[in-house]
Amino acid sequence: MTKTSPLIPLLALLTLSAAASDFTGLKQEMDSVADKVFLTLKEEGQDRIAIRDFTSPSFMQANFSNALKDELTCSLKEKKVNVDAQATYEISGEYRIAQDETDPAKKSDLHGLLIQFELKDQKNNKSLGKFAHQVFDNSLMSSVAGINGSVKPNDSLEKRNTDLYNKSEHPEYSVSNSEVIVGQFGVEVGIFDGHNFTPRAIFEKNHSPYVELNHNDQYAIKLINNSDYDVAVLLTVDGINTFHFSEIRNDKGEPRYSHWIVGAHSNSLIKGWHKDLKQMYSFFITDVPNSAAGQLKSVGSIGVINAQFHAVIVGGAHNATDEGKTRGADLATGKGPPIDAASKEVAVKFGAMRTSITVRYGK
């Protein structure tokens, strides 16, 4: 594997470590929700359902509705349930980060994503039932809450969970010119005109780093790795994985890739949503109905860029050697015209998330 550069981002072909999977716990819970929906619809003689947006408390300054709706849609389709805005019944919900509420008798100190669902008749607003699911996944919690901070990869799941939750309330980051820095890693957002990258200044708002992006701005995201080892980075924009719209798919019809690989002591400029190995769809600030989020029919507040850094432990040019066995399942921007952005496929194994960096953009 050659050292990565801003011109040729590398793609993680294989996610061999279970801990490094892309929100596996969320899929499992959504599969369970789909089972409940399927049985309820079957009793009502229906096979279609509408999905409304999921909301969160305003203080979270986050939007994960797109990812929740997309994951639920995939799970419902596997159950042969059609998602249709004109269906008789709808499902909606609220989400937040909360302490374990799964079993009051066995309540733990873990914090996780709590999703409260409700099934309703769209015409008369009659409730068919409410239920809740909670996912304990440190990577997922970091993305949903927009966390800025680092945790030690070899600490226990419980210790990492506690540390991350504390950082959601007390962010850990610094600003160096236009870069948001957490430990050895950084993120920089700037305007990209197809040839030149011009960083935008970072300002603080509500204890979080923000960057100003305006309507019709085309921008790019620089992922910075100042460590001695390669890293795999899970990058989401407005709750959507930057590989979501990729035309390269696996045999299940899912995006083949999930992470960007950034070499030791280098950086990669991500110019847009991955399209194929030669081009990307540019990041483009636009009205929600025309945006990438709008394609998932979200009307929620959007403006969150989250990057999660995992150390490459096998297959990289520079592998981390300080990570033992991973503990537990630790794991409105629009599409503009395609831009030339060659990328290269690599097969690596990577470990638990070490650092989460979030930059919110103003609206």
Q: What is the DSSP annotation of 128-185?
A: EEEEEEEE--HHHHHHHHT--EE--TTS-HHHHHHHHHHHHHS---EEETTEEEETTE
Section 137-145 average pLDDT: 89
DSSP calls for 75-101: HHHHTTPEE-TT-SEEEEEEEEEEE--
The answer on pLDDT for 81 being more than 60 is yes
Section 204-218 average pLDDT: 88
Are 297 and 288 spatial neighbours (Cβ–Cβ below 8 Å)? no
Q: What is the layout of strands, in order, in the sheet containing 82-83?
A: 82-83, 48-55, 89-99, 111-121, 127-135
For residues 4 and 9, what is the distance between their CA atoms, to the nearest angstrom? 6
Report the range of poorest mean pLDDT among 41-55, 111-125, 323-337. Answer: 323-337
State pLDDT tens for residues 299-310: 445 588 999 999
Could you tell me the end-to-end alpha-carbon distance of the chain, in angstroms, rounded to an integer?
40
Section 57-76 average pLDDT: 87
Helix axes 24-43, 65-78, angle to 10 degrees: 60
The answer on pLDDT for 142 being more than 80 is yes
Say what the pLDDT of residue 342 is: 67
The answer on pLDDT for 65 being more than 60 is yes
Say what the pLDDT of residue 292 is: 59
Section 194-214 average pLDDT: 92
Say what the pLDDT of residue 341 is: 62
Section 286-314 average pLDDT: 69
Average pLDDT, the chain: 83
- Structural domains in the chain, CATH included, are 10-22+146-362 (no CATH), 25-135 (3.40.50.10610)
Confidence of residue 337 (pLDDT cuts 50, 70, 90): very low
Compute CA distances 208 → 82, 185, 214, 279, 312, whole Å: 39, 17, 19, 32, 28
Report the range of poorest mean pLDDT among 8-17, 136-145, 282-291. Answer: 8-17
The answer on pLDDT for 52 being more than 50 is yes
Residue that has been written with the tokens 């909606």 in this structure: 92
For residues 215 and 210, what is the distance between their CA atoms, to the nearest angstrom? 16
CA dihedral 39, 40, 42, 43 (to 10 degrees): 120
The answer on pLDDT for 327 being more than 60 is no
- Token code pair at residue 20: 């490094």
The answer on pLDDT for 16 being more than 60 is no
Residue with the bigger pLDDT between 230 and 334: it is 230
Does an H or E element contain 261, and which?
Answer: strand 260-262
Are 19 and 354 spatial neighbours (Cβ–Cβ below 8 Å)? no
For residues 29 and 72, what is the distance between their CA atoms, to the nearest angstrom? 9
Say what the pLDDT of residue 146 is: 92
Residue with the bigger pLDDT between 220 and 4: it is 220
The answer on pLDDT for 137 being more than 60 is yes
Using only C-alpha atoms, the chain has a radius of gyration, in whole angstroms, of 20
Say what the pLDDT of residue 2 is: 33
State pLDDT tens for residues 232-275: 999 998 778 898 888 888 888 888 888 999 999 999 999 998 88
Are 231 and 309 spatial neighbours (Cβ–Cβ below 8 Å)? yes
Section 118-147 average pLDDT: 92
Say what the pLDDT of residue 60 is: 87
Output the CA angle 301-223-246, nearest 5 degrees: 65
For residues 33 and 230, what is the distance between their CA atoms, to the nearest angstrom? 37
Say what the pLDDT of residue 89 is: 97
The answer on pLDDT for 335 being more than 50 is no
Section 283-301 average pLDDT: 58
Q: Which range has the top average pLDDT, 84-93, 201-210, 326-335, 343-352?
A: 84-93
Confidence of residue 21 (pLDDT cuts 50, 70, 90): very low
The answer on pLDDT for 336 being more than 60 is no
* pTM of the full structure: 0.85
Say which DSSP state 104 is in: G
Percent of the chain with pLDDT over 90: 50
The answer on pLDDT for 63 being more than 90 is no
For residues 312 and 263, what is the distance between their CA atoms, to the nearest angstrom? 9
Say what the pLDDT of residue 326 is: 45
